Amino acid sequence: MKKRIVIGLVCMLVLSILMTGCSGNQESNGTTEDGSAITLRLANVSPVGDIRDLECEKFAELVEQKTNGKVKVEIFSGGTLGDWRETIEGLKAGSVQVVLESVGTLDAYEELADIEAVPFLFRDADHYTKVWNGDIGNEILETVGSNAGFKLVGPAFRGARYVTSKKKIENVNDLKGLKIRVPNIAVYVKTWEALGASPTPMAFTEVYTGLQQGTVDAQENPLSLSWSSAFYEVCPYLVATKHIYGTDVFILDSKYFEELKPEFQTAIVEAANEAGSWRTAQTLKSEEDYLEKFKGEDVTLVEVDRDEFVQQLGNFVEEKFPHLKKWADQIEAVN
């Protein structure tokens, strides 16, 4: 009898603890019981002080302002919550509510996301801006987001991607066998294979050490990220391939987003779009400044013939990623 009483008391205690945990002030999605206030955990792999990090700060400031403090954004830059793949997976798990990353990182969820990484798709920054500020850009974000189960907002220009290299690269022939770090995204891997290099997928947080130790000979990224990551310390050459004009977006899990109050949804979208526009303007203005910074660190800027690279790729999209052909054609047709 005593045993039964003890077991009963233990069960009641456990049940009480569980109920207390479930009725706390904040649920797993960051919303208080009455839905009146939330905290968004925002992940970003770029270092503190990088333009991406500054965009996160701008977004946080605008969200809090537009919601009168009812929505706050806690920023985790520098990959402190994991690499980009881990944090995007964390959106579904609820360990993070927002990730600032490129559209192309969602290729595992929706194949159209590959369009962001297609090489030499944009002629210049003006062409890029017209596409992403127009109907095609909006349709891409809506389609990728809807099919992948995410809400994508605030497209921002990452800058043209340049190669930082330990070896001098003046033409396509110099790429033969080059061990170049790329994101673990199919389009990037196949692009550099087609150009004759030896692409090596690697987490961004490991790139500096990889270059330092000779695991890879080169890497490619926008100037701002290559600068803030101090790749000039290990790469004496900066190669102006400008092979990709990348786009970052704020990514939220669509189910989580749809459960927010409508006024919070509106504020988040507006804040993301404003922060994205701010970053695009900053990026466009700063490219020449970054080039001068690299030169100031005794890094040699190497110009290459874009047409030679395009010719080497041949019918890259049609042969490797036929599902992107109609989208690529529409983008190339924008004047």
pLDDT in tens, 146-173: 999 999 999 999 999 999 999 999 999 9
Helix axes 125-132, 135-148, angle to 10 degrees: 60
Note the pLDDT tens digit of each residue in 106-140.
Answer: 999 999 999 999 999 999 999 999 999 899 999 99
- What domain range includes position 50? 33-333
- Domain-embedded: residue 3: no
Distances (CA, A) of 240 to 144, 150, 161, 164, 293: 30, 33, 8, 9, 15
**pLDDT of 137:** 95
What's the CATH number where 314 sits? 3.40.190.170
Question: Is pLDDT above 60 for 44?
Answer: yes
Residue 185's pLDDT band, with cuts at 50, 70 and 90, is confident
Structure tokens at 329: 């054609």
Residue with tokens 């961004």: 204
- Domain-embedded: residue 62: yes
Report the C-alpha gap between 12 and 28 in whole angstroms.
24
Dihedral, 183, 189, 193, 197 alpha carbons, nearest 10: 10
Note the pLDDT tens digit of each residue in 270-306.
Answer: 999 999 999 999 999 999 999 999 999 999 999 999 9
Sign of CA dihedral 212, 217, 223, 225: negative
Higher pLDDT, 219 or 29: 219
Question: Is pLDDT above 70 for 202?
Answer: yes
Q: Specify the 3-state DSSP secondary structure of 40.
A: strand
Sign of CA dihedral 105, 111, 108, 217: negative
- Domain-embedded: residue 69: yes
- Domain-embedded: residue 10: no
- Domain-embedded: residue 22: no
Sign of CA dihedral 222, 228, 229, 233: positive
Q: What is the pTM of this model?
A: 0.80
Higher pLDDT, 17 or 189: 189
**pLDDT of 17:** 36
Question: Is pLDDT above 50 for 21?
Answer: no
**pLDDT of 300:** 98
Evaluate whether 74 touches 39 at the Cβ level (below 8 Å): yes
- Domain-embedded: residue 267: yes
DSSP for residue 26: B
- Domain-embedded: residue 98: yes
Instruction: Please give the backbone phi and psi of residue 165, each rounded to the nearest 5 degrees, phi first.
Output: -140, 150
Beta-strand pair 98-102/245-253: antiparallel
- Domain-embedded: residue 218: yes
| Domains: count for the chain | 1
Task: Provide, rounded to the nearest whole percent, the portion of the chain with pLDDT above 90.
Answer: 83
